[in-house]
Amino acid sequence: MRTVIKVGTSTLAHEGGHLNIRRIETLCKVVSDLKNAGNEIILVSSGAIGMGVGKLSLKGRPSDMPTKQAAAAVGQCELMYTYDKLFSEYRHTVAQILLTGDDLNHADRRENFENTLSRLLELDAIPIINENDTIGTQEIIIGDNDTLAAIVAVSCKADRLVILSDINGLCTADPHKDPNATLIPVVEEITPEVIALAGGSGSDLGTGGMATKLRAAQITTAEGTDMVIVNGSDPYILYDLFDGASVGTCFRGRKTL
């Protein structure tokens, strides 16, 4: 089974932007094990800007483009260094791919990306993809990694996209604000009522939130690919998911032949 796993900044970093070591160590261990069990896994990882903020001791996510891009340049190194180090412990090889929206809209470049991705999987590497934040300008950015992960999942014909988030899934109300919010386990169709349940961006350092996740679900489900949102605070949840348990919220792929 081919799975794209998207990891958000809120899963990888503490609030100030410093790496959540226990979380990323557990994640790399579980992903390595799932790969050892025969699964093909592609990671789409955020965290470059967040980790750059931490490493440069900036006060929160920068609002101006040059500082944001400088933070991404610093943080992307830290991110890949950490992944490389942790996956190497389990004898897995990582490969970095950085993309802009322009790369995906340009037929030749997109084909090169898809060819490289499939060769990396044949070579048994773990591709780790992020937006190329250091050169992205407003015109060419994808803007958020939920959308990027959905495009990647569709491009590589993944069986499903798994989004690790700081919430349990789509709920009947915002669980950060409403204690009576309950989890919706399966969404068969993304109706206007479902869209109305999405709020704005969830964390200070990331750009996501439920709105971008629903947009991602629209992209994957239209191509027949399932998308599942689960809480990444304990990466062991991936074992349950891969064992077929119902965790988080699954948006069912709807492609009709």
Residues of this chain that interact with ligand GLU (CB under 6 A) are 8-9, 46-50, 72, 130-131, 133, 144-145, 206-208
The residue among 79 and 187 lying less far from ligand GLU, judged by its C-beta, is: 79
- Cβ at position 16, least distance to ligand GLU in Å: 14
The helix or strand, by DSSP H or E, that contains position 80, with its residue range, turns out to be: helix 65-89
The residue among 150 and 247 lying less far from ligand GLU, judged by its C-beta, is: 150
Measured in residues, the chain has a length of 257
- Cβ at position 196, least distance to ligand GLU in Å: 22
With a CB cutoff of 8 Å and minimum separation 6, the contacts of 18 are 51, 54
The residue among 39 and 218 lying less far from ligand GLU, judged by its C-beta, is: 218
The structure tokens listed for 2 are: 């081919």
- Cβ at position 110, least distance to ligand GLU in Å: 19
3-state secondary structure of 249: strand
Relative orientation angle of helices 21-36 and 65-89, to the nearest 10 degrees: 50
- Cβ at position 67, least distance to ligand GLU in Å: 13
Q: 198 with 211: CB under 8 angstroms?
A: yes
The residue among 20 and 130 lying less far from ligand GLU, judged by its C-beta, is: 130
